[in-house]
Amino acid sequence: MPETDLAGPKITLEEFQELAWEGVPYVGQLGPEVLRFEAGEIAVLLPYREILLRPGGTICGPAMMALADIALYGLVLSMIGRAPLAVTTDMTVHFLTRPKPGAVVAEGRLLKLGRRLAVGDVLIHSEHDDRPVCHVTGTYAIPPDFG
């Protein structure tokens, strides 16, 4: 893995949260909570709400994809600083098992930090159960001044 920066993340948690929750209200409305925020490491909890359900009584895929995408955003900004225009270029999601209704947690790690692209992956699990329910790999394009 790319070495994480001992000096800590290049954006504060407060700045990231403002960018993410106010900047992307379709995700922010869900009230995610950042549990861990280090340079190159992140954990974000999605609280349970009825709006997250899908047939079968499980958390819907789009909510988990939104959670993973925002976790990757935080992961990248933790390494490059306040770059709101960093954008996802691709994301691949595997839904592994159906989580029970309840909060889920996304844990992200950085796989690559280049000048132009950053790649990370995310495992999502239920709050009190470590078994993965969803795996995501994604790429972010880094704006020219931040690479």
List interacting residues with a copy of itself (CB under 8 A): 1-2, 19, 23-27, 29, 50-56, 60-63, 65-66, 69-70, 84-85, 87-98, 111-112, 114, 116-117, 119, 121, 131-132, 135, 137, 139, 141
Compute the least distance from the CB of residue 24 to a copy of itself, in Å.
5
Residue (36 or 109) nearer to a copy of itself, CB? 109
Q: What is the 3-state secondary structure (H, E, C) of the chain?
A: CCCCCCCCCCCCHHHHHHHHHHHCHHHHCCCCEEEEEECCEEEEEECCCHHHEECCCEECHHHHHHHHHHHHHHHHHHHHCCCCCCEEEEEEEEECCCCCCCCEEEEEEEEEECCCEEEEEEEEEECCCCCEEEEEEEEEECCHHHC
Compute the least distance from the CB of residue 71 to a copy of itself, in Å.
12
Compute the least distance from the CB of residue 123 to a copy of itself, in Å.
8
Residue (33 or 54) nearer to a copy of itself, CB? 54
